[in-house]
Chains A and B, each alone.
Chain A
Amino acid sequence: MVTLTINGEQHELDVPDEMPLLWVIRDVVGLTGTKFGCGLALCGCCTMHIDGQAMRTCVLPASYAIGKKITTIEGLSPDSSSALQKAWIAEQVPQCGYCQSGQLMAASALLAKNPRPSDADIDQAMTNICRCGTYESIRAAIRRAAASADQALR
């Protein structure tokens, strides 16, 4: 048995310790917002926050997350109200949308560390793959979210 805290809720799960967190959360817990893209931590579709750090969970054993706080896209905000999610809508970022859960989780971790990232900071931090090529819109949405957070502070 593995006990995991996912989006603030405790789950007791009968899964092997080494089962990747992605598959525990998708197939066993039933939260399917986080996606599978490569299985080698290369594409970022499976990005979640573990104690606030963006991590690629397709290669992360479930046991790693025991006692840690796991946040998935479903837990990013209760009602899609985070500055990033609003910015994603305002910029109409998603096309097929499959990578966007991971993109949002990566962007959210970036802004938590660096609330006013430069374009170079964004390019360096955002290595998630998008085959629809929404990169320019993602950059714009991150800048928009950063600016709206600035606005909120003033």
Chain B
Amino acid sequence: MTRAFAVTLVIPDNEAFTAYETLARLGVPVADVRRSDIWLFDVEPDAAGSLAAHVREIETVYNPNKHRLVERATAEPEPGEVWVAAREEPPMMEIAGRKLPGVSAIRRRTAWRLFDDTGRALGPTDRDRAVATFLCNPAFQVAIQ
């Protein structure tokens, strides 16, 4: 089974802000950009229950002083979210030199959420433009919506 975790900064996200500035310069009508790291773990069912606790122990993934860790219900993007992933990247077997019990593969995605000046998710046309012009390099990445 695959379990998904979203790690989001609770302090100002400079990368998201730079993405916002760049997209705005490109003429995308965006008012806010939010970003999360998505970690996907292929895990044995009997090890899934303790996975979150193990993930919380890896400081390179999750630092409680600056991150929020949320386990997702599914391993798919949520509505309005775009995941950017390397097109051909073998899954990792460990993180920061650590293997996790029952975990056979680890993959990483970057999740982007774009909002307009009313606070609503950006429409699909503008979102697709943001992805095509900046957020994803199709030469080696793929956008998953």
> Do chains A and B interact in one complex?
no
Chain A residues close to B by CB (< 8 Å): none
Chain B residues close to A by CB (< 8 Å): none
